[in-house]
Amino acid sequence: MTVILNQSFTGISIGAVLLLIALGLTLTFGQMGVINMAHGEFIMAGAYTTYVLQKSISSAGVSLLVALPVAFLVAGAMGVLLEWLLIRRLYTRPLDTLLVTWGVSLMLQQLARDIFGAPNVQTHAPDLLTGNISLGGGITLANSRLFILGLALLSVLALTLILKLTPLGRRIRAVVQNRDLAEVSGIATERVDRTTFFIGSGLAGVAGVALTLVGPIGPTMGTNYIVDAFLVVVVGGIGQLKGSVITAFALGVLQSVLEYSTTVSVAKVIVLVAIVAFLQWRPQGLYTLRTRSLA
């Protein structure tokens, strides 16, 4: 029982990481149909931002707190740049954005290698986040994982509030539901797209900050997470926050429980089979926007 509980908590914390990454993807994928493979490199940018800040601010706690907004801005700015330079030219063929942004991600990885070197680097976690909380009965929760979980939930909350309550959120939802109708109603869809891309990419930066607490920082760190995060979006339903939240935690727990009962590699295969089976039942994902379009 203890093992299962511990394993579930590990799963939930894997899910929290996936969720942080998938949140941004849901936004950009959902609204613009853009498959941004460079999203993983925005995560990397966020992680390196933390690393650089820690070099200049000695206190680990302060630098982490400063890193959160700075990484959001850095990654967001990179996203806007990518959108402005490339993606807006490709709206008519969204599938091709996958390959184009993959090219961008290759270049960004090499850039990171040239600037920071190929080997992984480490940051120091603040003392507050290095320990464990023991709940008795052998169940322990790592502080850093709890922090990530909190960060993920906070991000979901903030994003939900933005989408539900602000004028910007209303515009974003309008564009997701019907781009043409939104445009004729006077919404500057291009500007909304860019803002969405900024927020989505910025969230990747925040995810990068969180990842520095649980793993090394390296040029290819984003690639390790990007496919899983995309699977979360596909299963959750495109453009659906609810779906992403449920799916991220479900996949995380499934993965870690399977890892315990089999091996890491077999668990990956089983999760994939489960996803294909799930899509038989719900080809459009857990939650879908009802539309009359055929495609």
Binding residues for another protein, rule: CB under 8 A, are 29, 33, 35, 86, 89-90, 92-96, 98-100, 102-107, 109-110, 113-114, 223, 227, 230-231, 234, 263-266, 268-269, 272, 275-277, 279-280, 283, 294-295
CB of 269: closest distance to another protein in angstroms?
A: 5
Spatial distance between the Cα atoms of 267 and 277, rounded to a whole number of angstroms: 15
> Which C-beta is closer to another protein: that of 72 or that of 230?
230
> Which C-beta is closer to another protein: that of 1 or that of 276?
276
Q: Confirm if 86 and 104 have CB atoms less than 8 A apart.
A: yes
> Which C-beta is closer to another protein: that of 126 or that of 237?
237
Q: Which of 79, 280, 87, 116 shows the shortest CA–CA distance to 195?
A: 79
Spatial distance between the Cα atoms of 196 and 185, rounded to a whole number of angstroms: 19
CB of 267: closest distance to another protein in angstroms?
A: 9
For 187-215, give the secondary structure using H, E and C.
CCHHHHHHHHHHHHHHHHHHHHHHHCCCC
> Which C-beta is closer to another protein: that of 86 or that of 214?
86
CB of 47: closest distance to another protein in angstroms?
A: 20
> Which C-beta is closer to another protein: that of 103 or that of 150?
103
CB of 18: closest distance to another protein in angstroms?
A: 13
Burial class, 129, CB count within 10 angstroms (exposed 0-12 / middle 13-18 / buried 19+): middle
Q: Tell me the two tokens of residue 148.
A: 């990530």
CB of 4: closest distance to another protein in angstroms?
A: 23
Q: How many CB atoms lie under 10 A from the CB of residue 293?
A: 6
Q: How many CB atoms lie under 10 A from the CB of residue 81?
A: 13
CB of 199: closest distance to another protein in angstroms?
A: 20
> Which C-beta is closer to another protein: that of 86 or that of 162?
86
